[in-house]
Structure 1
Amino acid sequence: MEQFADLWDPVPGWLNTASYGLPPRPAWEALQSVLADWRVGATSWEPWDESTSRSRAAFARLIGADVADVFVGSTVSGAVAPIAAALPDGARVLTDDVEFTSNVFPWKTHEDRGVEVIGVPTAELLDAIRPGVDVVAVSVVQSSTGTVLDVAKVVAASKEIGALVVLDASQAMGWLPLTVDGVDALIVHTYKWLMSPRGATLGYLSPRLQERCRPAAAGWYSGVGGGRSYYGTEMELYADARRFDQSPSWFCFVGAAPALELVEQIGVETINRHNVALANEFREGLGLPPSDSAIVSTTLAGAEEAFAAAGIRAAVRDGKLRASFHLYTTRADVHQALAALKPLT
């Protein structure tokens, strides 16, 4: 990891990647360059949009998907919406009872036609995948607790009953190795562990799910032929997942492309070892057992105030202190955080 350390310039004490990631230098510099061009009108937008294609391709490689099955958007909830709209009346959606609401509310807006959203505790999720469940919609890593989903077991149990598997990987992708084997949809916002500007979302849709969904948000960008889709009443959409594209926020993808490519270059397995080792060193210092997560969530009275006094930036979620560890986190950050909390333990 040492050869990549100079790609970031964090102020010591940033333990909050689960809220947003810090841009690596290639992403930051690419963004500054296009912002400078935008300010003076130095170029048209087409060169900026090449970053959307690069982001799409890097995402596909990272999850082992065909690039034709990848779409782009701006939010997780917006990406889930067409899947939820494709559910039949009376469908049942199973999720975690602490699931981040971007993967809850799009389903719940269909309750007026009998769609039922069922939340169960994390430890009970696998056993709750039973006949009668139509969709399992859950995060690969829980935002509030850091709990890592056993994706293989969830996929296997869902296949047995014919349920769709829709995963929010926003708190996982970038540090946890992932594939889309057996998954129907995997959606990620890139501004956390993929260290991109907020506004670049990427998603995978299995071919069978693409057939079930209507591209209700179709616009010029999801139309074949570039400028031919700008005007008029004739519509020809892409035949693959690109028909679900939303017109991308250019500058967000300009920052996303080099960040995703850097994650590829370093290797997710390498990042995983680094992040989990630091998280477990922090856990050990608090007297907690080791875990497989880059997120540490714990209840410790006075921790938020102690961190603030020491200049440690973390988060409080669901009443618990949440610290998260990524590429630019160092052992010195861990020791600084533990020193701040020592009077409380």
Structure 2
Amino acid sequence: MDIEQAQKLWQPKPGWLNTASYGLPPEPTWTAVQEAMTGWRAGSTSWEGWGESVNRARTAFAGLIGVPGADVAVGVTVSQMLAPVAAALPAGATVVVPEVEFTSNLFPWLVQEERGVTVRTVPAEGLAEAIDADTDLVAFSLVQSADGSVAAYDEIVAAARAHDALVVVDATQACGWLPFDGSRADVVVVGGYKWLMNPRGTAYAYLAPALRDRMRPDAAGWYAGRDPHASYYGPPLRLADDARRFDISPAWFSWVGAAPALEVVAEIGVPAIQAHDVALANRFLTGLGRPPGESAIVTVAVPGAEERLAAAGIRAAVRAGRVRASFHVYSTEADVDEALTALTG
């Protein structure tokens, strides 16, 4: 499926340039959720069918980042998925994080300081160089929420491996438009409601097997069981042998929508989406006299930008006085040009 064909699966109101806040559902996602809600309202179906969507989504996500499905846990939010990783750090461990990191990938480490974990923040552009013999774990966003900058993934991983440090990647603002090899990290966490266009309430975590052995599934419930449907009542503890032991019981309707959205992304292909998204971002930058970049998220300072965009019906974010525009598969050149007219007219 090429981009032109794929765009027929969406019905956005023109001017949506804010996927970095939330993505828009393709038609298969919208339809699946409506059908599930209708069945819920009437009590005409069993929940097990909704639950099957979780493993469809797990498999599709694993394929997007190049890891085995057995190494992927599912949950609700990025910070919730990171909590057992942070709790597994030994007292006295040192974590290195960029200075301007989204707090879902910062607070889980900071709350461990009371038991002796040290969190050291450094400039994002110097992250690889800041990893040293005292570093136990480095955590960073593959694409920064604040400005769309793309991390030097290869250099950071190489520096971490040279010092036997763990690598934790928040790919929430990358997965779905930026191809990358998730297996090179120890942990990859993704909130599904942005570039993967899932309903909110879905999150994914690749957990490398060696790291999982050091983690405790403190939130384990029936869904973390070896056979969830045989784990409803009573002892003994019988958890899954793979990453599923860190699963959280799913919010059914979010996952009903997640599976078809991920499958659409896989069918289009992330490299094709990247080419489309970045081309639109660069059209926007060029129109404002800025040099091109490599990200689907861009930020620019334009006087009165928030008011100008609002007046033109363009929906983008404003962060620290700068316009943050983000472009995805359903974005068009017309969307870009309307935004440029609003900002330069």
* Equivalent in 117, 120, 128 of residue 118 of structure 1: 120
Aligned to 1:251: 253
Which of 96, 99, 103 matches 2:98? 96
Measure how far apart 1:228 and its partner are: 2.2
* SS of equivalent residue, structure 2 residue 95: strand
Deviation at 1:125, TM superposition (A): 1.1
Task: Structure 2: give runs of 5+ residues left out of the alignment.
Answer: none
Residue 172 of structure 1, CA deviation: 0.2
Structure 1 consecutive aligned stretches of length 4 or more whose deviation exceeds 6 Å: none
Determine the structure 1 residue equivalent to 2:14: 12
Partner of 2:79: 77
Q: Which residue of 1 aligns with 2:70?
A: 68
Q: Deviations over 1:134-185 (max 9, x none)?
A: 1110000000010001211111110000000001110000000021232100
Q: Given the two structures, how large is their TM-score scaled by the length of structure 2?
A: 0.98
Structure 2 counterpart of 1:104, one-letter code:
L
The aligned counterpart of 1:270 is: 272
Counterparts of 2:321 and 2:132, CA distance in 1: 32
Moved more, 279-288 or 114-123: 114-123
What residue identity is the alignment partner of 1:235? L
Return the alpha-carbon distance in structure 2 between the equivalents of residues 102 and 317 of structure 1.
17
Q: Does 1:198 align with 2:217?
A: no
* Aligned position for 1:212: 214
Distance 2:6 2:241 in 1: 40
Q: How many angstroms apart in 2 are the aligned matches of 1:173 and 1:291? A: 18
SS of 1:47's equivalent in the other structure is: helix
Q: In 1, Cα distance between the equivalents of 2:320 and 2:218?
A: 34
Q: Which runs of 5+ in 1 are unaligned?
A: none
Structure 2 equivalent of residue 297 of structure 1: 299
Q: Which residue of 2 aligns with 1:282?
A: 284
In the alignment, which residue of structure 1 is the partner of 2:233?
Answer: 231
Shift of 1:26: 0.4
Partner SS for 1:212: coil
Higher mean C-alpha deviation, range 325-334 or range 223-232: 223-232
Q: CA deviation at 1:296?
A: 0.6
**CA drift at 1:116:** 1.4
- Aligned pair 1:140/2:169, yes or no? no
- Mapped partners of 1:196, 1:145: distance in 2: 22
CA distance in 1, matches of 2:33, 2:48: 15
Which letter does structure 2 place at the counterpart of 1:11?
K
2:280 is aligned with what amino acid? L
Provide the C-alpha distance between the structure 1 equivalents of 2:264 and 2:179, rounded to a whole number of angstroms: 15
170 and 250 in structure 1: CA distance in 2 versus 1, 3 angstrom threshold: same
Mapped contact 2:227–2:240 kept (Cα < 8 A): no
Which range moves more in the overlay, 144-153 or 18-27? 144-153
Find the residue that maps to 2:182 and give its secondary structure: coil
Q: Give the whole-Å Cα distance in 2 for the aligned partners of 1:336 and 1:151.
A: 34
1:129 Cα deviation (Å)? 1.2
The secondary structure found in structure 1 opposite 2:281 is helix
Specify the alignment match of 1:167 in structure 2. 169
Q: Deviations over 1:291-328 (max 9, x none)?
A: 10000112222111110111000001233210000001
Q: Identity percentage over the alignment?
A: 57
SS class of match (1:125): helix
Q: Give the whole-Å Cα distance in 2 for the aligned partners of 1:189 and 1:176.
A: 15
Q: Deviations over 1:40-69 (max 9, x none)?
A: 101111000111010000011111101110
Shift of 1:249: 0.9
Q: For the residues of structure 2 that align with 1:110 and 1:328, how far apart are their CA atoms?
A: 41
**Residue type of the partner of 1:25?**
E
- Three-state SS of the structure 2 residue aligned to 1:130 is coil
Which residue of 80, 85, 88 maps to 1:86?
A: 88
**1:193 aligned partner, one-letter code:** W
Verify the 8 A CA contact 2:222 2:231 in the aligned structure 1.
yes
CA distance in 2, matches of 1:119, 1:218: 32
State the partner residue of 2:344.
Answer: 342
Could you tell me how far apart the structure 2 residues matched to 1:266 and 1:235 are?
42
| 8 Å contact from structure 2 (residues 187, 205) kept in 1 | yes
SS class of match (1:10)? coil
Larger deviation, residues 298-307 vs 134-143: 298-307
Q: Which amino acid aligns with 1:38?
A: W
Amino acid at match of 1:271: I
Q: Does 1:152 align with 2:158?
A: no
Shift of 1:124: 1.4
How many residue pairs get aligned? The number is 343
Alpha-carbon distance in structure 1 between the residues aligned to 2:252 and 2:241: 23
Question: In 2 relative to 1, CA 238–330 (structure 1 residues): closer, same or farther, beyond 3 Å?
Answer: same
